[in-house]
Structure 1
Amino acid sequence: MKKTASARWQGGIKDGQGSISSQSGVLNDTPYGFNTRFTDQPGTNPEELIGAAHAACFSMALSKELGDAGMTAERIDTKAEVTLDKVDGGFEISAVHLSLRAKIPGAERAAFEKAVETAKTGCPVSKVLNAKITLEAVLDS
């Protein structure tokens, strides 16, 4: 299986503008630029997109792990905070912190924690990132 996305950039780093599109059409010439990445101007940026992908991938992986353990989540809410650090004249994504809040009727804490850890290390987006990935999980009763 292969999925595609594309980006177009025009101009210099600070005055230029880009757009991102995805095969599904969910992103269709969605604008991004220096100001949407490094200031608070509205628009998307690569780190936000990586965070969305990681939160979605982890949530799906957790759903699978819970199912394998005989549990079904009523709700899985995941937020990803992506850290972009300046290093050696450039930038790197150094960390991703996942915050999870899940409601799983009848879940036992140990089985929940095992499923969470397996999903964190096993989801495809976690595997592709060369960053420190931390996670905080809350199981609502």
Structure 2
Amino acid sequence: MENQTNDDGQINMHEEMRRAFSLLSGKWKLEIMWMLNQRIYRFGELRKAINGITQHMLTAQLRELESDGLISRTVFAEVPPRVEYEMTAKARALGPTMEALAQWWNEYGKSVPVRPASRGRKANKTQASEGPI
């Protein structure tokens, strides 16, 4: 993509797209966003549903997504405390992009070589067999 800056200092689309990509760049952000695009999740549910992510990394990625305004965090005053995460309206606007990616994967995913999972910690067998709550 070439820089698209006018001499009068207007928008540089290359830089703007870099900013957009940075919102979703991170080891786990796209996977988190995919999950939250499906429904609202509690922290523990996300942790179990995303194989290999550590509690520390999930917390860090959720905080970044929240500070960027892509997800919202709701804390319920209960014992024990319940915390839920959901996509904001701004992030929901990415829905067509996610649908296009899913459609692309359905068409071309089988032609992509399978790589061994090398991300995060190896899940133990009990974690791997448990699905999302």
Higher relative contact order (CA 8 A, sep 6+): 2
TM-score (norm 1): 0.27
TM-score (norm 2): 0.28
Of Structure 1 and Structure 2, the greater helix share is in: 2
